[in-house]
């Protein structure tokens, strides 16, 4: 990895959490632009909280978050966190990615519809456009959520455990798409328990009890047990 790569995100002495207390404590790290960064660590180490802070969903109680991206980050939560009974079709779900540009519920333009179609095609789910999310497998649902994020056309994509619970074929499809996105210049940050997935990244950030326990290449960081 090019260690001189400009950071897409700079975290400075970051502290954040919930009413019950701080989850992240004094987190200082740089996330390189145009690369894939894997955030690894035990359950409860703060991976999801860190993604939410970078996404702007959670406001830190101390420290700083600096993003070089001009557009709002695209955030893909775990597909298991999306209610299976949500009364939306795949097409409607992906179209929601355009809200970052048009605003909620506003009529989409011809250009917006073209972006939605392209994202459906890229994830191989065009034939599912009229299906409800509740009718999909976990892998299909995750591809729909990723397509929605891509429709946002952000240069910073955040994903929380994107391949957890998916079959091998779905995992490979998601991984292939993420590699293509990074190759095109998008910064990807994902939280993962999968050592192989983390090893495929250019940069790793290891969290332990809400603090940074390691940062660097996968070879450097994954020498420390993750699970």
144-180: per-residue pLDDT in tens?
999 999 999 999 999 999 988 888 988 898 999 999 9
Residue 59 shares a structural domain with residue 160: yes
CATH number of the domain to which 193 belongs: 3.40.50.300
Q: Is residue 79 part of a domain?
A: no
> Which has more confidence, 90 or 164?
90
Cα–Cα distances in angstroms (integers) from residue 71 to residues 48, 56, 202, in the given order: 21, 12, 23
- Burial string for 2-13 (b: 16+ CB within 10 Å, else e) reads eeebeebbbbee
Residue 107 shares a structural domain with residue 135: yes
How large is the average pLDDT for residues 193-219?
94
Q: How many domains is the chain built from?
A: 2
């Amino acid at each position: 990895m090019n260690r001189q790569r400009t950071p897409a995100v700079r975290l400075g002495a970051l502290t954040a959490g919930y009413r019950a207390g701080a989850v992240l404590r004094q987190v200082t790290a740089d996330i390189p632009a145009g690369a894939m960064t894997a955030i690894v660590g035990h359950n409860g180490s703060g991976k999801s909280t860190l993604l939410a802070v970078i996404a702007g969903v959670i406001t830190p109680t101390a420290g700083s978050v600096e993003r070089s991206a001009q557009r709002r980050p695209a955030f893909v939560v775990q597909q298991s966190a999306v209610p299976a009974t949500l009364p939306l079709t795949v097409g409607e779900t992906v179209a929601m990615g355009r809200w970052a540009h048009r605003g909620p519920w506003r009529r989409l333009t011809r250009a917006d519809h073209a972006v939605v179609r392209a994202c459906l095609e890229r994830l191989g789910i065009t034939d599912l456009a009229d299906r409800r999310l509740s009718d999909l497998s976990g892998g299909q649902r995750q591809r729909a959520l990723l397509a929605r994020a891509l429709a946002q056309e952000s240069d910073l994509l955040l994903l929380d455990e994107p391949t957890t619970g998916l079959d091998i074929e779905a995992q490979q499809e998601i991984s292939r798409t993420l590699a293509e996105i990074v190759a095109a210049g998008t910064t990807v940050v994902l939280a993962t328990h999968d050592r192989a997935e983390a090893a495929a990244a250019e940069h790793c950030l290891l969290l332990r009890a809400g603090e940074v326990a390691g940062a660097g290449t996968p070879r450097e960081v994954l020498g420390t047990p993750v699970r």
